[in-house]
Amino acid sequence: MAILAIHDLSCYSKSSLTVVIPVLEALGVETAVLPVSILSTQTDGFDDIAAVDNTEGMEHILSAYNRLGISFEGVYTGYLGDSRRIDIAIKAIDSSSGPVLVDPVMGDDGKLYPSLSDDLPQQMIRLVKRADIITPNLTEAMMLTGLDDGIRKLGQRDIHDLIDVLRSFGPEKGVITSIPLVSGGLGNAAWNGKEIRLFSYEDLGASFPGAGDLFASVLYGLTLRGDSFFGSALHAEDIACRAIEESLKSGRERRLGIELYPALREMSRRML
């Protein structure tokens, strides 16, 4: 039994698959991968990046799995980058069973990532409709819902409005991450099909590439094991915050991405 993780692969520095694989495996989830592209490094902070597009490779790999009768008991998608890869991810979901987590990686700080097309949010909605769990950050939640009046501090009403639209696309569960709160600090707003909970945390004033992947990987791994959704979201938030704190404390160069060892150590300390 394995799940299929569909993300890009940064050969050096931590982001996407180089975070997803160790975290899910540490949680006991057998993880197969379908890389959408192979990058020399993650893209935030390096000005010379070698990128090998693997769109055709994805199709060949999935066809081989079909011929071999290999199937997956869960699919977890992250950075995809274009609509053709979204189509391939949907094909992979069609031939899988088990929970689907879609992290609709498209932007941050109110902006689409450079090199992504303006119609990606519309395309991403097609994938979100196939998800059981979604983990957009606030920017991505605004792009998906069209409720986009800029990044500002949000109150309960704003958050409920965003979640109402995201739920109307289909996902029973989800978390909107990194929400600046009227009440102070940042928050993750989670829904579990029955209720909504807001988990607030201290704004450390720093981010590291891969922190979102760490959050979503812990959340997915724990829910696959049958932990409660809100409990999993809280562990994921604490572990991601701890990893950011430790990455800052050790003076880690930001572009190397989130430091994984503190996250893995914290998972072990919590006996996850």
Task: Provide, rounded to whole angstroms, the least separation between the CB of residue 117 and ligand PXL.
Answer: 14
3-class SS of residue 185: coil
Task: Provide, rounded to whole angstroms, the least separation between the CB of residue 78 and ligand PXL.
Answer: 5
Query: Alpha carbon of 65 to those of 30, 33, 58, 91: distances in Å?
Result: 16, 12, 11, 12
Give 111 or 129: the residue with its C-beta nearer to ligand PXL.
Answer: 111
140 lies in the binding site for ligand PXL (CB under 6 A): no
Give 43 or 54: the residue with its C-beta nearer to ligand PXL.
Answer: 43
Residue 4 CB contacts under 8 Å (≥ 6 apart), including other chains: 32, 33, 34, 72, 74, 75, 76, 92, 96
> Which of 22, 35, 74, 78 is close enough to bind ligand PXL by CB under 6 A?
78
Task: Pick left, alpha or beta for residue 30 (phi over 0 → left; psi -120 to 50 → alpha; otherwise beta).
Answer: beta
> Which of 65, 113, 199, 230 is close enough to bind ligand PXL by CB under 6 A?
113
Task: Provide, rounded to whole angstroms, the least separation between the CB of residue 207 and ligand PXL.
Answer: 10
- C-alpha angle 264/265/267, rounded to 5°? 65
> Which of 8, 158, 246, 266 is close enough to bind ligand PXL by CB under 6 A?
8
177 lies in the binding site for ligand PXL (CB under 6 A): no
Q: How many whole angstroms separate alpha carbon 154 and alpha carbon 140? A: 15
Give 136 or 158: the residue with its C-beta nearer to ligand PXL.
Answer: 136
43 lies in the binding site for ligand PXL (CB under 6 A): yes
266 lies in the binding site for ligand PXL (CB under 6 A): no
Give 192 or 217: the residue with its C-beta nearer to ligand PXL.
Answer: 217
16 lies in the binding site for ligand PXL (CB under 6 A): yes
46 lies in the binding site for ligand PXL (CB under 6 A): no
Q: How many whole angstroms separate alpha carbon 116 and alpha carbon 113? A: 6
105 lies in the binding site for ligand PXL (CB under 6 A): yes
**Per-residue H/E/C for 20-57:** HHHHHHHCCCCEEECCCEEEEECCCCCCCCCEEECHHH
Task: Provide, rounded to whole angstroms, the least separation between the CB of residue 267 and ligand PXL.
Answer: 19
Q: Name the segment binding ligand PXL (CB under 6 A); options: 8-16, 137-145, 179-187, 225-233.
A: 8-16
Q: What is the DSSP letter of 171?
A: -
Nearest residue by C-beta to ligand PXL? 79
Q: How many whole angstroms separate alpha carbon 93 and alpha carbon 213? A: 20
Task: Provide, rounded to whole angstroms, the least separation between the CB of residue 40 and ligand PXL.
Answer: 12
Termini Cα distance of the chain: 20
Q: How many whole angstroms separate alpha carbon 5 and alpha carbon 270? A: 25
Show contacts with ligand PXL in window 201-230 (CB under 6 A). Answer: 213
Residues in contact with ligand PXL by CB under 6 A are: 8, 15-16, 43-44, 78-79, 105, 113, 213
